[in-house]
Amino acid sequence: MGYDRVMAQREYDFIVLGGGVAGLAAGYRLCKAGKSVLMLEKDKRIGGLAKTLNINGFLFDYCAHRFHSANPGVMQEMRDLMGPNFVEHRQKSRIYLFNKYLKYPFEMQNLLRAMPKIEAVRCAFDFAWNTLIRGFNKREIKSYADWFEYFFGKRFYKFMCYPYTRKIWGMDPQYLSADWANQRFKGPDIPKLIRTVLKKICTLNFSSFSLEDEEFLPDSGLFYYPIHGGIQAMPDRFAEEVQKHGGIIHTGVNVSSISAKTRTVIFEQDGMTQRATANHGLISTIPLHAYTALLEEPVPAQVTENLRQLRYMDIIFVFLFVDKERISNDTWLYFPDKDIAFNRAVEFKNWSSDMAPPNKTSLCLDITVTPENRHFWGMSEKDLIEKCKQDCEMLGLCTSKEVFDFKAVRIPHAYPVYDLEYRPKLDSILQFIESFEGVYCIGRTGVFRYNNSDNSIEMGLELGKRLADEPVRGKSMRSYEFSGVSY
């Protein structure tokens, strides 16, 4: 008899689908409360989007991850979990506009100085006028374009918002829901902004456009990042704790079916088929499409149609190994120009010296795959790298000769796409999935929410806390509100 025909059967208090930080945080909380937990992860390694690859002494995150939470409880939990490996950094980022490296988030006087003079004057007047009349503007804020124009006016929108947003999402910010901005950014403190600009102008304090510029923005955010191990250190610490408290984590698993009614999951691992039942709760952190495709129960036609219309965006990470001590001193570099293949560049050495061997450095370039640049997804690794190397050379980051190795990683379902109609469709899908008693969805792909890792962790910890208290009813995280914007 082949191994694949052996069917082991087990029962647990909880089963968690997906070993990203949301699932791990939920598993951690539940195990610590004495519950038996089984975690099932499709990939060979845990971590999901917060993963780090180790290639010949170079550590590459799936794009660098800065960690910060507006929830003091989550911050404390993470400091305790990570111990001395978690250190505080200050963000320093630039954006390439008008052929110059400008401070980012934008510093008003830095931006105005980089613009053609006539445009700078127009923008300044438009901004001043917009600020004066803003209180009387009763227009409904539906899209990201509405949100941005409400705070900064139409002229700044053209330079500060449109090009980069259009490039990342492949869609006009008019069609992107304002929910994205509300979850992501705080509205600006206009009086403070004006005071800062005037002070800088009066004291003739104009920062440079050089990549070597060491000056931080006055409000540059603080964040945490591990000294050792890249961002993977975070999921790894959760996993250690889960296992220490008796939880089981299976990786490289192929889930073949889910019965939501009985909370039973059938999966294969190492050629063996197993059946596991969750007596108290089944927690899904996997993409909504993947979860519903595995269901034994029939999915209503309207839910299937809504799923068809809900879109995740894929991403490609291009990792370059560079024979150079340093490229810049920035946390991130942003590239809104549509002719440049990538949106952002991250030099990991600026996050921790552990990330590259001495005298060498590396870059992670991210390319979101939109309907407009879909050809990148199928492009050969050689052609993709060639294009990235050319762009890096043109931008003055490194020469093609200095790049001595490379790797491209393609990740599906990396970003939920918030178009203007997504909300009711999402609600109907989540309502259906959670209509089965004891089934819960959390996480970035799991609830189609533009989570940062802290948000996913917060959801996991909170759900774990709610479920650890019997009885298991009314604990859904569907409409959970975060404590605030983390960045």
Reduced DSSP (H G I as helix, E B as strand, rest coil) percent helix, strand, coil of the chain, to 5: 40, 25, 35
Q: What is the torsion angle, in degrees rounded to the nearest 10, for the CA atoms of residue 68, residue 348, residue 215 and residue 206?
A: -110
Site for ligand FAD in 294-323 (CB under 6 A): 315
Helix axes 144-152, 117-133, angle to 10 degrees: 90
Please report whether residue 63 would count as binding ligand FAD according to CB under 6 A: yes
Query: Computed over its alpha carbons, how large is the radius of gyration of the chain?
Result: 24
Q: How far apart are CA 70 and CA 307, in angstroms?
A: 31
Distance of CA 346 to the CA centre of its chain: 14
Q: Quick one: 109 or 368, whose CB is closer to ligand FAD?
A: 368
Indicate the SS3 state at residue 187. coil
Q: Quick one: 23 or 173, whose CB is closer to ligand FAD?
A: 23
Site for ligand FAD in 435-464 (CB under 6 A): 443-446, 451-454, 456
Question: What DSSP line would sit under 285-345, residue for residue?
Answer: -S-HHHHHHHBSSPPPHHHHHHHHH--EEEEEEEEEEESSS-S-S-SEEE---TTSS-SEE
Site for ligand FAD in 401-430 (CB under 6 A): 414
Sign of CA dihedral 296, 299, 305, 311: negative
Q: Quick one: 97 or 315, whose CB is closer to ligand FAD?
A: 315
Interacting residue with ligand FAD among 15, 50, 265, 345 (CB under 6 A): 50
Max Cα–Cα distance, the chain, nearest Å: 83
Q: Quick one: 344 or 466, whose CB is closer to ligand FAD?
A: 344
Interacting residue with ligand FAD among 70, 201, 290, 420 (CB under 6 A): 290
Please report whether residue 278 would count as binding ligand FAD according to CB under 6 A: no
Q: Quick one: 171 or 201, whose CB is closer to ligand FAD?
A: 171
Interacting residue with ligand FAD among 42, 122, 324, 475 (CB under 6 A): 42
Question: Applying CB under 6 A, which part among 48-56, 94-102, 272-280, 319-327 lies near ligand FAD?
Answer: 48-56
Q: Quick one: 49 or 345, whose CB is closer to ligand FAD?
A: 49
Q: x/- contact string, 3-22, with ligand FAD (CB under 6 A)? A: --------------xxxxxx
Question: Applying CB under 6 A, which part among 41-49, 168-176, 185-193, 200-208 lies near ligand FAD?
Answer: 41-49
Q: Quick one: 91 or 328, whose CB is closer to ligand FAD?
A: 91
Q: Quick one: 67 or 422, whose CB is closer to ligand FAD?
A: 67
Sequence letter at residue 437: E
CA triple 277-282-286, angle to 5 deg: 120
**Two tokens, residue 326:** 């340093």
Other Cβ atoms less than 10 A from the Cβ of 483: the count is 14
Cβ contacts of 116 within 8 Å, gap of 6 or more: 98
Please report whether residue 255 would count as binding ligand FAD according to CB under 6 A: yes
Neighbouring-strand partners of residue 383 = none
Place of tokens 């002229």: 155
Please report whether residue 114 would count as binding ligand FAD according to CB under 6 A: no
Q: x/- contact string, 340-379, with ligand FAD (CB under 6 A)? A: --------------------------x-------------
Q: Quick one: 124 or 233, whose CB is closer to ligand FAD?
A: 233
Q: How far apart are CA 441 and CA 408, in angstroms?
A: 31
Please report whether residue 49 would count as binding ligand FAD according to CB under 6 A: yes
Residue 340 Cβ, how far from ligand FAD at the closest point, in Å?
Answer: 16
CA distances to 269, 284, 367, 377, 400 from 414, rounded to whole Å, are 25, 16, 11, 13, 29
Binding site for ligand FAD (CB under 6 A): 17-23, 40-43, 48-50, 63, 65-67, 255, 285-286, 290, 315, 366, 414, 443-446, 451-454, 456
